[in-house]
C-alpha cells in the first residue's frame, strides 16, 4: 500500500489545518517538509504537484490534491463511514450545512483573522511597522464575525452541528494565533460562547500534537 504523504510547511496555517485533520482521523502518513524560505514551493518538483506553488499538497497513491479545504473535504469523505461520521455527515442536508460554514470560515473569518495576525504579530517580529488603519478595519470585520459565531453557538455546541466537524478543524491555526495576541484574545474572550468553543477545540489531542510538531521544528 502506498504511503500517504503531506507536503507542506509548519509555518503554513493551511498545512496545519490538514495536519490536524489527518491526526483527527488517526491516519498513517509521512510529512514531507517544504522549505518556503528556500523557494522549494516554486521549483519544478513541487510545481508538478501544485502549479500554483502553494502548500500543502496531499498524496495518496495516484491521487495528488492541493488546496487545504479541498483536501480536508475529500479526506473526511474518503476514509470510510466511521471517519466521515466523526468529522462530517452522510446526510445531504447536514452536509450542506457543513459546506456552508466551511465557506464562512474561508470568506468571512480567515481574511480579517490573517490580517490581524500579520499586522500585530508577523510584522513586529520582522521589524516592520504595523498598519493601524488595517488593524482597525480587520478588528471591526472580525468582531462582526465573532458576533455571528456567538449567536450560532447559543444554539449549537460547535459551529456546524452539535458535534466537532471539519468546520471547527479549519479554524484551529488562526484561533491559536489570535489567542496569542492581546487585542484579538480580548475579542474572543469577551464572547463567552466563542471563548468556551475556542478553548475546547484548541485542547483537542490532534491539535496539541500539531503544536508539538511545531515545537520540535523550532528546537
Domain assignment of residue 180, yes or no: yes
pTM for the full model? 0.91
Q: How far apart are CA 151 and CA 191, in angstroms?
A: 10
* Residues 159, 100 share a domain: yes
Q: How far apart are CA 92 and CA 104, in angstroms?
A: 18
Please tell me the predicted confidence (pLDDT) of residue 119: 98
Please tell me the predicted confidence (pLDDT) of residue 159: 96
* Residues 126, 60 share a domain: no
Please tell me the predicted confidence (pLDDT) of residue 212: 96
Please tell me the predicted confidence (pLDDT) of residue 88: 62
- For residue 46, give its domain range: 5-86
Tens of pLDDT, residue by residue over 168-217, are: 999 999 999 999 999 999 999 999 999 999 999 999 999 999 999 999 87
Number of domains forming the structure of the chain = 2
Domain assignment of residue 59, yes or no: yes
**pLDDT averaged over 10-residue windows placed end to end, the chain, 219 residues:** 87 96 90 90 88 92 90 77 57 83 97 98 96 98 99 97 92 98 98 99 97 81
Please tell me the predicted confidence (pLDDT) of residue 62: 84
Q: How far apart are CA 54 and CA 40, in angstroms?
A: 10
215: Cβ contacts below 8 Å, ≥ 6 apart: none
Where residue 17 sits, what CATH number does that domain have? 3.40.30.10
Domain limit, last residue, from 54, 86, 118: 86
Amino acid at each position: 500500500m502506498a504511503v500517504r504523504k503531506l507536503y507542506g510547511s509548519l509555518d503554513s496555517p493551511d498545512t496545519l489545518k490538514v495536519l490536524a485533520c489527518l491526526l483527527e482521523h488517526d491516519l498513517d502518513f509521512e510529512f514531507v517538509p517544504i522549505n518556503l524560505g528556500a523557494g522549494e514551493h516554486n521549483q519544478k518538483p513541487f510545481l508538478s504537484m501544485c502549479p500554483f506553488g502553494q502548500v500543502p499538497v496531499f498524496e495518496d497513491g495516484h491521487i495528488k490534491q492541493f488546496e487545504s479545504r479541498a483536501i480536508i473535504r475529500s479526506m473526511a469523505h474518503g476514509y470510510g463511514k466511521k471517519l466521515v461520521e466523526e468529522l462530517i455527515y452522510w446526510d445531504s442536508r447536514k452536509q450542506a450545512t457543513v459546506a456552508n460554514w466551511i465557506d464562512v470560515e474561508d470568506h468571512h473569518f480567515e481574511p480579517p483573522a490573517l490580517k490581524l495576525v500579520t499586522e500585530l504579530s508577523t510584522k513586529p517580529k520582522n521589524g516592520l511597522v504595523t498598519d493601524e488603519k488595517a488593524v482597525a478595519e480587520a478588528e471591526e470585520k472580525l468582531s462582526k464575525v465573532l458576533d455571528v459565531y456567538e449567536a450560532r453557538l447559543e444554539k449549537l455546541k460547535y459551529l456546524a452541528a452539535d458535534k466537532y466537524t471539519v468546520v471547527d478543524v479549519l479554524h484551529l491555526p488562526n484561533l491559536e494565533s489570535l489567542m496569542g495576541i492581546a487585542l484579538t484574545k480580548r475579542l474572543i474572550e469577551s464572547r463567552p460562547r466563542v471563548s468556551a468553543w475556542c478553548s475546547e477545540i484548541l485542547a483537542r489531542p490532534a491539535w496539541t500534537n500539531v503544536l508539538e510538531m511545531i515545537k520540535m521544528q523550532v528546537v
